[in-house]
Amino acid sequence: MDVIQDIIVYYSQNAGYVWEQFYRHFLMSAYGVLFAAIVAIPLGILIARHHKLSTWVISLANIIQTIPALAMLAVLMLVMGLGTNTVVFSLFLYSLLPIIKNTYTGIRNVDHALLESGKAMGMTKFQVLRMVELPLAMSVIMAGLRTALVITIGIATIGTFIGAGGLGDIILRGTNATDGTAIILAGAIPTALMAVIADIVMGYLEKKLSPNKKRKCTQHQQQAT
Amino acid sequence: MLKFDNVSKVYKGGKKAVQNLTLEFEKGEFICFIGPSGCGKTTTMKMINRLIEPTGGSISINGVNIMDKDPVQLRREIGYVIQQIGLFPHMTIQENISLVLKLLKWPEEKRRERAKELLTLVDMTPDYLEKYPHELSGGQQQRIGVLRALAADQPLILMDEPFGALDPITRDSLQEEFKKLQKKLDKTIVFVTHDMDEAIKLADRIVIMRDGQLVQCDTPDEILRNPADEFVEEFIGKDRLVQARPNIQTVEQIMNPNPSTITGDGTLSEAIQLMKQNRVDSLLVVDENKVLQGFIDVEIIDQKRKKATRVSDVVESELFTVEKGTLVRDTIRKILKRGMKYVPVIDEEKRLIGIVTRASLVDIVYDSIWGEDEISNIG
């Protein structure tokens, strides 16, 4: 019970600071995913078109994914120096794989008959992409963004080692302090919460963007009646 | 309207999908491409809207070579229906129907109007407009698929086994509905199928293909009557050939070979006597080589007997005839339609060889009702 009390005391005394770090933490993750999305979605579409490229690109993204986060940060630090930018860049790299993979899968899974009828109706390639492929692949792409965001929120915690701030700062302080359990938790709980909320919100968006959402609705209605 | 001129398609690796196809179709024709799988029928169809580019020869629509047109523009002017239906699941029925119109940049208001109008063509109520494709049955979905191809009032529509995935009852009713629709809207349809029944039922002309080559292109009747070779015969199937036989009887088989005739230089009183003798009210007038000149009947004689004495003076030469070899079915239709009492049958040199009268029709009807019974009684 002491710990909980300590946490409450910590929050009441440092509310502004915690909120600031929380916000900073979120921004780093979001920017990482956002930049990754800007690169990875077009890349995913490209490799869906050019099948042969896909193995190469996805293997490369896989390799990036296997590098331990701490090692990645350390190496990037050597090149880019300390600070937020380095962290955002590493988060960008970690987000690539889930987004590329999901975009690729989403686009590849669009029914061939739909593509053909779109083309035969006189859609340009871009129109097929915009009016058929993207809407139908959107929920899968969103699932990729969701995974990426949850991963980056976790990884952003260690950004504190290269002076990027975020909730990791609080956790690190707790580990350095004697009897710092409460402080560690005070940093860890908001991190976990952020990840959970991000997951729920993105999950909701994913469902919302699903082309078959109407089917689910009507099925529910039918079951209800 | 649609013309294939020596069209070929050779795929990479040398596989010849279509070879030297030359065909021409009129506006409003319903054309079925049929053949075993891999015969190039779908390839041929897809070359029309350049989903597949021909490698040789030229295809032209209304005199314009399709290769000179922008493929996207070309496709917007040609309707397209596929077996998998291909309605977009994320769009409502209205959006699906009016998608081509959207591509053609029609205003929203007019698109809605058009979608509603089209739904009435297939007897569906406007409340379907807001539904999604998965809420419809397979038959309804394909109706929408067809409407989508009609949306921009395209004169030419390509259909790739559109009813193939439906259950037989739905397919049957959709075929009938569609045939009516086609007649009403006067569209040119290119229809790919492997179902001979479907082709016979729907087509004005059937194009039979094998190994990328044209085997026969003709009306369903003609193909049933004169299959080009054994392949076609086999493809049509023995059953259908037998079934088709009653319909392909020729007039020779039912005509009366000894009609009452008189030559041109006979007198009117001779004619009257002949009529009385044979208990008929008209006579066919022939010359010495039995070439048909015309006819005379009681009324003509009655009106003109004071002015003329010879048959050749009063002969009525306006006479409807049929050549031997004409289908009974066609002949009957003409007799009934024009209210004629009889039709003389002539050969190539216009010589009279027989006559089909209403009595012959009675014989046919009698045969078809009682004939089989008699046979089974004997058996």
What digits encode the pLDDT tens for the residues A27-61?
A: 999 999 999 999 999 999 999 999 899 999 999 99
Chain B neighbors of A120, CB-CB under 8 A: 49, 51, 75, 78, 80, 82, 158
pLDDT band of A216, cuts 50, 70, 90: very low
pLDDT higher than 80, residue A74? yes
* From B75, B134, B135, residue closest to A121, measured CB to CB: B75
Distance between A109 CA and the closest CA of chain B, angstroms: 14
Q: What is the pLDDT of residue B274?
A: 85
Is the distance from CB of B98 to CB of B76 less than 8 angstroms?
no
d(C-alpha A22, C-alpha A185), whole Å: 14
Show residues of chain B in contact with A136, CB under 8 Å: 88-90
Higher pLDDT, B244 or B354: B354
How sure is the predictor about B68, in pLDDT bands with cuts at 50, 70 and 90? Answer: very high
Query: Quick one: pLDDT at residue B340?
Result: 77
Cross-chain residue pair A117–B51, CB shorter than 8 Å: no
State whether A211 and B85 contact (CB < 8 Å): no
Q: How distant is the Cα of A102 from the closest Cα of chain B, in angstroms?
A: 19
Q: Tell me how long chain B is.
A: 379
Task: Identify the pLDDT of residue B368.
Answer: 66
Of A122, A214, A215, the CB nearest to B76: A122
Return mean pLDDT, chain B: 85
How would residue A185 be classed by pLDDT, with cut points 50, 70 and 90?
very high
Summarize the confidence of residues B216-240 as an average pLDDT: 84
Probe site for chain A from B88, B102, B160 (most A CB atoms < 10 A): B88
Under an 8 A CB cutoff, do B90 and A113 touch?
no
Q: Which residues 60-119 of chain A have a CB within 8 Å of chain B?
A: 111, 113-114, 116-119
Segment B343-372, tens digit of pLDDT? 888 888 888 888 888 887 787 777 766 654
Of A74-78, B112-116, B344-348, give the lowest mean pLDDT range: B344-348
What was the pLDDT predicted at A96?
94
- The pLDDT confidence band at residue B303, using thresholds 50, 70 and 90, is confident
Which of A114, A122, A214 is facing B86, going by the closest CB pair?
A114
Q: How far A215 CA sits from the closest chain B CA (Å)?
A: 7
Residue A18 domain boundaries: 2-224
Chain B CB contacts of A214 below 8 Å: 132, 134-135
pLDDT at B55: 92
**What pLDDT, on the 0 to 100 scale, is given for residue A125?**
92
| pLDDT surpasses 90 at A145 | yes
Predicted confidence at residue A208, as pLDDT, reads 86
**Which of the four pLDDT bands, split at 50, 70 and 90, describes residue A98?**
very high
pLDDT at B288 over 70: yes
Contact list, B69 vs chain A (CB under 8 Å) = none
- pLDDT surpasses 50 at B378: no
CB contact under 8 A, A123 and B74: no
Distance from C-alpha of B291 to C-alpha of B350, rounded to nearest angstrom: 5
pLDDT in tens, B172-204: 888 888 888 888 888 999 999 988 888 888 899
Instruction: Give, as one character, the DSSP assignment of residue A110.
Output: S
Chain A residues within 8 A of B158 when measuring between CB atoms: 120
Per-residue model confidence (pLDDT) at position B356: 85
Nearest chain B Cα distance for residue A166, angstroms? 40
Query: Of the given ranges (A40-54, A163-177, B150-164, B226-240), which has the lowest mean pLDDT?
Result: B226-240
**Taking 80 as the threshold, does the pLDDT of residue B332 lie above it?**
no
A222 to chain B: closest CA residue? B135
Average pLDDT for B67-96: 91
Q: Answer yes or no: is pLDDT of B115 > 60.
A: yes
Interface test with A, best of B99, B144, B148 (most A CBs within 10 A): B99
**Residue B261 pLDDT > 90, yes or no?**
no
pLDDT confidence of residue B85: 87
- What is the count of structural domains for chain A? 1
3-state secondary structure chain B: CEEEEEEEEECCCCCEEEEEEEEEECCCCEEEEECCCCCCHHHHHHHHCCCCCCCEEEEEECCEEHHHCCHHHHHHCEEEEECCCCCCCCCCHHHHHCHHHHHCCCCHHHHHHHHHHHHHHCCCCHHHHHCCHHHCCHHHHHHHHHHHHHCCCCCEEEEECCCCCCCHHHHHHHHHHHHHHHHHHCCEEEEEECCHHHHHHHCCEEEEEECCEEEEEECHHHHHHCCCCHHHHHHHCHHHHHHHHHHHCEHHHHCECCCCEEECCCEHHHHHHHHHHHCCCEEEEECCCCEEEEEEEHHHHHHHCCCCCEHHHHCECCCCCEECCCEHHHHHHHHHHHCCCEEEEECCCCEEEEEEEHHHHHHHHHHHHHHHHHHHHHC
A52 or A1, greater pLDDT: A52
- Answer yes or no: is pLDDT of B316 > 60: yes
Residues B328-345 have a mean pLDDT of 77
Report the share of chain A in percent with pLDDT over 70.
93
Q: What's A216's domain CATH number?
A: 1.10.3720.10
